[in-house]
Amino acid sequence: MTQVCVLGAGAWGTALAKVLADKGNPTRLWALSEEVAATINDGHENRRYLPGHKLPDTLSATTSLENALDGAELVVLVVPSHAMREVMAKAKPLLPPNALVCSASKGIENESLMLMSQVLVDVLGKDLEPRLTYLSGPSFAKEVALGMPTAVVVAGSNEAATHTVQHAFASDRLRVYSSDDVVGVEIGGALKNVIAIAAGVIDGLGLGHNSRAGMITRGLFEIGQLADKLGGHPLTVAGLSGMGDLVLTCTGDLSRNRTVGVELGKGRGLADILAGLGHVAEGVKTAKSAYDLSVRENVLMPITHEVYGVLYEGKDPKQAVVDIMTRELRAER
């Protein structure tokens, strides 16, 4: 058994904590809310973020970062990307000396334009990099919690640490692949949320399957372009953290980012949409980071630019589609 700490008690954090606890690992889930922690400890259910899913006795919750991290051999990070730096700065002095760390957060920091891997190295130090890993892939929290067969990937710079984390998560319901391409895995996991907003706009406007398929395909091309520029491998983008997660997030009704896009396509305002969502939609913040990265790196990413325009400049979604379709014609590759 491995003593596990999961930081972040949203739907995804709770689902991953359940996976690890179901394998018999004593697992502590860190929550910001006393109410969330109480429902987990008293009723074995996260009624706010993952209602209806019975949590095992091996899983407990706490609002104390110190208690959550005490003795942890595996620390799983599932906080929103914009909170990663702040949370890990507080966690740094509390991290057990040999604990492995796995980030399951998907996003790019707005101010610095750093991937989560870069944020973690910046906060925790270069010496900890061999102990850092990153989980991504097509995985809705509710389906993982239900035990529906799911495939994901864990990436890391150290093969031994990556394989240890791979086996920690793996079960007969969760197939886990390994990778040494941290950049490719992270870019795929972050940018698919931006493209999912675009795909949702297509559905909200009622533009049909052809439009959505084209958006997904060209969105995958944009993800590949940026990943390649930042040092990722093109085949990684064709894998679980790229194409797999993109297809899921652009087509599944459980996708919060797609939901944001659908409602934008129907004419609702962004503030109103986010107020009623109840969960974090990472693609909204990542759209700004991805836009700024594309400008900094001189990478052509027209879909990302149009999503940025709709979210941050008040552009009409219908006009954004027109502008995508009437761009200068060019070769596919």
CATH of the domain at 30: 3.40.50.720
User: Whole-angstrom Cα distance, residue 139 to residue 90?
Assistant: 28
Residues 201 and 171 in one domain: no
Residues 115 and 230 in one domain: no
The answer on pLDDT for 225 being more than 80 is: yes
Q: What is the mean pLDDT of residues 169-175?
A: 98
Within a 13 Å sphere around the CA of 214, how many CA atoms are in the beta-carbon half? Answer: 12
Which runs of E-coded beta strand occur in the chain? 4-7, 27-30, 59-62, 74-77, 100-103, 132-136, 150-156, 174-179
**Token pair for 221:** 């091309």
Q: Does the residue 277 lie in any domain?
A: yes
Contact yes or no for 247/138 (Cβ under 8 A) = yes
Residues 137 and 200 in one domain: no
**Domain's final residue, options 180, 200, 235:** 180
Residues 16 and 92 in one domain: yes
**Domain's final residue, options 180, 208, 224:** 180
User: Whole-angstrom Cα distance, residue 242 to residue 224?
Assistant: 8
Residues 158 and 304 in one domain: no
What pLDDT was estimated at residue 278?
74
Residues 154 and 17 in one domain: yes
The answer on pLDDT for 279 being more than 90 is: no
**Token pair for 151:** 């495939």
Residues 159 and 198 in one domain: no
Q: Does the residue 286 lie in any domain?
A: yes
Q: Does the residue 276 lie in any domain?
A: yes
Q: What is the pTM of this model?
A: 0.95
Cβ density class 102-134: b for 16+ within 10 Å, e for less: bbbbbbbbeeebbbbbbbbbebbeeebbebbbb
Residues 306 and 159 in one domain: no
Residues 139 and 238 in one domain: no
| H or E segment and range at residue 16 | helix 11-22
User: Tokens 């891997």, residue?
Assistant: 117
Range of the domain at 160: 4-180
Q: Does the residue 138 lie in any domain?
A: yes
Domain total of the chain: 2
Residues 8 and 138 in one domain: yes
**Domain's final residue, options 180, 198, 218:** 180
Q: Does the residue 247 lie in any domain?
A: yes
What dihedral angle (degrees, nearest 10) is formed by the CA atoms of 303, 307, 309, 312?
-150
CATH number for 195 = 1.10.1040.10
Residues 21 and 164 in one domain: yes
Q: Does the residue 332 lie in any domain?
A: no
Contact yes or no for 265/208 (Cβ under 8 A) = no
Cβ density class 138-173: b for 16+ within 10 Å, e for less: bbbbebbbeeeebebbbbbbeeebbebbbebbbeee
Burial class (CB in 10 A: 0-12, 13-18, 19+), 257: buried
pLDDT band for position 234 (50/70/90)?
confident
Q: Does the residue 331 lie in any domain?
A: no
What pLDDT was estimated at residue 1?
76
284-322 pLDDT, tens digit per residue, is: 999 999 999 999 999 999 999 999 999 999 999 999 999
Residues 159 and 196 in one domain: no
User: Whole-angstrom Cα distance, residue 149 to residue 83?
Assistant: 30
50-105 pLDDT, tens digit per residue, is: 999 999 999 999 999 999 999 999 999 999 999 999 999 999 999 999 999 999 99
What pLDDT was estimated at residue 240?
98
**Catalytic residue IDs:** 192
Q: Does the residue 333 lie in any domain?
A: no
Give the C-alpha distances (Å, rounded to integers) separating 189 from 19, 245, 253. Answer: 20, 7, 18
